[in-house]
Structure formats: structure tokens, C-alpha cells
Amino acid sequence: MTKKRPLILVTNDDGITAPGIRTLISIMNTIGDVLVVAPDSPQSAKGHAITISETLYCDKTSIDTDAPQEEYSCSGTPVDCVKMATHEILKRKPDLCVSGINHGSNAAINVIYSGTMSAAVEAGIEGIPAIGFSLLDYSMKADFSHCKEFILTIVNQVFENGLSKGVVLNVNIPKLQASQIKGIKVCRQANAHWEEEFDKRTSPMGREYYWLTGKFVNEDKGEDTDEWALANGYVSVVPTQFDLTAHHYIQELNTWNLNE
Amino acid sequence: MTKKRPLILVTNDDGITAPGIRTLISIMNTIGDVLVVAPDSPQSAKGHAITISETLYCDKTSIDTDAPQEEYSCSGTPVDCVKMATHEILKRKPDLCVSGINHGSNAAINVIYSGTMSAAVEAGIEGIPAIGFSLLDYSMKADFSHCKEFILTIVNQVFENGLSKGVVLNVNIPKLQASQIKGIKVCRQANAHWEEEFDKRTSPMGREYYWLTGKFVNEDKGEDTDEWALANGYVSVVPTQFDLTAHHYIQELNTWNLNE
């Protein structure tokens, strides 16, 4: 008798046809039964947005002919896709949710803007073990071939050890050849931010408009951060939580005069 | 000589004309010089989304005639508004950013979906002391009159004590009369989630579509949570952070076989 194959939900934020998710689907097909519910268009930087003031479409589709996975294309955000999968499409809770492979880094503060990671976080909120995968290459022609072994190692370790409730994994993979990667490193999120510059232009109708552009600034020199690991040839794994309480600060706030 | 008035950035997610932000602006005008940069349309549940694939408009406007504040109406998300204010409009970093008053609760897990709180978090990322205010009343006709004294107390305490870098405040106010409110309580975020139900309909063109609807489920019985405080007549204050690292879990992950 064969061991029961896990049920794996796959989503992303670059859209259902992006090379990153097609790679992730093919890797997941080797170990489980795969359901894909992913955005019908790019949804990068949508954070934890959900669609409450508009309607949603979610249509069965087939991108890879002859491939075993079931696929749905959804007009909503990555978080909408996870909600749609778990509350509308699936009869039972999946054993794992993987999101990605994102085209571009979700290390450091990028975790908070990322649709890829927000999808994984949403799965975590719903009690599903979840991992977001990102490659440090924004190109739609990025080479994902070295990602497979690291993804399988991390997924297998999640199945073997289980993930504690309230924790999801944020995995970033350097743009290097497999032989150049030194290993997998558990890290904390580097303390970084974006310095924005708005590119101001004038429309043909004479109205001013802006493009958001920015520069990533990492002031965190710690060697235990994801940014350090990635810059030094490691795959970074950051345990990420959605209890946003700054527990260490509660005692301090209780010394304030809030009730006088 | 008078003490220099603080520069206060005001934003929200319900849109620049919502009664909640108009109330917050009038309160802030009593203590500081106010800049308003807020969405030109409702942006609830947009989380930490930013606009990177579309252009942004940001136009000077005047909603209250004769009022002292400077106001801009922005086509983007609440987080875009904060970036626009700090990187394009203002010459210097504001002394405080307040977001809200949101029409509806942002307690418990709602913090992660909330545009109101994401705007405050973005200000925090940029090193600005920041507070999100929400009233537990979704109505556009909500009565905000009892909010003023609690908002002023909390803002004054932030100016007096300072807020540690990396922490913003998530303040929720019960839908009660001032005399019924027992005080202000420092809390942790309750561990809760949404159980979604998709309302499936058919368009006049015969295509199936969905509305996201859901039920809030709080399984956390702790008396130190925001949900408990609000249900028991307190204003809740949760210190909220954007370092999403589950620091307590790093040791556990280091026992996994990630490099074999």
C-alpha cells in the first residue's frame, strides 16, 4: 500500500501563467496532489489586500495540458485565492500551502508588501502549514532550475517536523547556480526600508501623475538576517508570524498615564 | 513664546470625505499643524498594498472650507498616501502620523487586512510615531463624539513618552457613550480568524461570480486581549510591530535537518 499523497495548495502573486508558479507546480506534482488557485493577472505588492467591494471571478482552467493538477484562475488578490481555495473549492483542509516561486526578493521588509507571502500568511491564519518561496531575480525569464532541491528539502522538513501554529516560512533563494549555494540558513527579517522617489509626469490631458519608484535601504548589519544570508550565498528561511503584537512593549505601555 | 506645534500627518482607508477622518482632522487641528493625504475613494481591506503597476494621482483639495489643514486626495492605497506624504509633499518628517478614525473594528487579526493600520505601520517603518484609530461601528453615520478625549489622551502620551522604533499603536474604541467606557487598556492582539462564505451568483451574461462574505471567529478567551477589552467596555491599545520574525521559533528551526 502506498502512503497517502498530501494535498497541496499552490498560489502566487505574479499570476497563474508566470514561470515561477509553473516551476513550483511541477515540483509539487512529484510529491502530492496539487490544487492551483492563482490570480489571473499580476498582483505583486498587493500585501494582505482582500476584495470586499467588488465581485470575484474564479474559473476552472488548464494551463499545462496533460498535467495532473487541478487549476483555477481568480480575478482577486493572492489572499482572495487562498480564501477561495479553502472555503469554496476544497472539501478538506490542504496539508500544505506553497506560494511562489516569486520573481524577486521577499526578504526583509518586503515580506509586508508581498502578495506571495501574504498568501502564505493567510493559509497560516487558517491553520494550514505554509511556505512562501521567492527567487532573487525579477525577470520573467529567470532561471529556476536550482530551486528544486532546496524547495523539496524545506517542504520535506515541514512534513517531517510540522510547523507550529502561528508560524509560516519565508524562503528566499539567491540568483546563483546550485553549486554556488552554501546551504540553507535560518534567519531573522533584516531591519530595512524603502526610500521612495515619485517620478512625476504630465498626462496628455495636462494632469500631473506619479509613478512610485524606490531604493531598498538595508541598515541592518546583523549576520543573522535574511539579507546577510542571501548576500553570502545562502538560501534564507525566516519564520514569520501574524500575531503582530509587540509583546515586549506591553510592560512599557503600562507605565504610561493612559487613565488619569 | 509659544511651544512649536507638532506636524501631524492624517490619513485613513475609508476615503478623504469619510466622517471618521473629518473627526480626526478636527481633533488634530486643536494640537498641531495638520497635513491630510488620504485616498480619493474607499480603500478598506487593502492591507499593505502599494501601487506599482499603475500611475497615481495626488491632487491638492479642500474639503472643509476655512479649516487650517492642507489636504491632498490620492488615487492610491493608504500606504501609497503615507509614501506620497513623506517622500513627495512634506519637506520634513512629521512628528506623528494618525490614521482613521476607521469605520469598524481593526482589533485581533483585522489588523493585517486593515488599510487604516497598514498606513500607520508604513509610517512606523519610515520612523514616524504612528497610531491607527478605529471605532467599532461600520456605519457611515457612526457617532464619533466620545472618541475625542481618548484620542487626545493617547496622542499626548505618545508625545510625552515617545514610541519605541518598530512599534505603532492599534487603538480600537467601543461603540458606547463616553460615560459607559471604563478606561484605556493595553492589550495583545486576540488570536482570531474569519470563516469565509462565498456568495455565488450568476451575472446577466451567465458567468458565475462571487462576493466574499465571512464570519469573525474569536477562539481566544484571554482577558489580556483587545477583543476582551472591547467587549468589556475598554478602549484597547495594542502595540503593533512590523518585524514579522517569529523569533521564538528560530531555535526550533535550527534543530531541523535543512542541510543534509
Determine whether the interchain pair A188/B245 forms a contact, defined as Cβ–Cβ distance below 8 Å: yes
* Cβ pair B137, B175 in contact under 8 A: yes
In-domain check, residue B33: yes
A254 in contact with B at a CB cutoff of 8 Å?
yes
Q: What is the pLDDT of residues B72-113, one digit of tens each?
A: 999 999 999 999 999 999 999 999 999 999 999 999 999 999
Q: Does residue A65 lie within any of the structural domains? A: yes
Which grid coordinates are listed for B89? Answer: 509633499
Is B212 in the A-facing interface, judged by CB distances under 8 Å? yes
With vertex at residue B226, the alpha carbon angle to CA B223 and CA B228, rounded to the nearest 5 degrees, is 40
User: Rounded mean pLDDT of B217-244?
Assistant: 97
User: Which chain B residues in 82-101 lie under 8 Å from chain A, judged by CB atoms?
Assistant: 83-84, 86-88
Longest dimension (CA), chain A: 71
Taking only the tens place, the pLDDT of each residue in B131-165 is 999 999 999 999 999 999 999 999 999 999 999 99
d(CA B86, CA B40) in angstroms, rounded, equals 18
Q: Is this model's pTM higher than 0.90 or not?
A: yes
Q: Which of A253, A257, A260 to mutate to test the interface with B (most CBs of B within 10 A)?
A: A253
Strands (DSSP E) contained in chain B are: 7-11, 33-39, 58-61, 70-74, 96-103, 130-135, 167-173, 183-186, 192-202, 208-218, 234-241
Q: Which domain holds residue A177?
A: 7-190+223-253
Contact indicator for B58, B135 with CB cutoff of 8 Å: no
The answer for B 19-58 residues in CB contact with A (under 8 A) is 42, 44-53, 55-58
Pick among B37, B44, B50 to test the A interface (most A CBs inside 10 A): B50
Residue A256 with chain B: CB contacts under 8 Å: 157, 160-161
Residue at A1 is within a domain? no
Estimate the crossing angle of helix B19-29 against helix B147-161, to 10 degrees: 50
Residue B3 scores a pLDDT above 80: no
B224: pLDDT strictly greater than 60: yes
ipTM for the predicted complex comes to 0.94
Residue A195 lies in a domain: no
Asked if residue A115 belongs to a domain, the reply is yes
With bands split at pLDDT 50, 70 and 90, how would you rate the model's confidence at B256? very high
Q: Is the CB of residue A65 less than 8 Å away from at least one CB of chain B?
A: no
> What confidence tens digit (pLDDT) does each residue in B157-197 have?
999 999 999 999 999 999 999 999 999 999 999 999 999 99
Asked if the structure places residue B202 within a domain, the reply is: no
Distance from B56 to chain A by nearest Cα, in Å? 5
Domain at B138, CATH number: 3.40.1210.10
pLDDT band at B2 (very low <50, low <70, confident <90, very high): low
pLDDT value, residue A1: 47
Average pLDDT, chain B: 96
| pLDDT, position B64 | 84
A180 touches chain B (CB under 8 A): no
Mean pLDDT, range B14-20, rounded to an integer: 97
Cell of A99: 506560494
A119 occurs within a structural domain: yes
Taking 50 as the threshold, does the pLDDT of residue B1 lie above it? no
Structural domain tally of chain B?
1
On chain A, the residues whose CB falls within 8 A of the CB of B258 are 153-154, 157, 183-184, 186, 237
Write out the three cell numbers for A237. 528561511
Q: Is residue A258 part of a domain?
A: no
A222 reaches B (C-beta below 8 A) = no
pLDDT digits (tens), chain A, 260 positions: 456 899 999 999 999 999 999 999 999 999 999 999 999 999 999 999 999 999 999 999 999 878 899 999 999 999 999 999 999 999 999 999 999 999 999 999 999 999 999 999 999 999 999 999 999 999 999 999 999 999 999 999 999 999 999 999 999 999 999 999 999 999 999 999 999 999 999 999 999 999 999 999 999 999 999 999 999 999 999 999 999 999 999 999 999 999 97
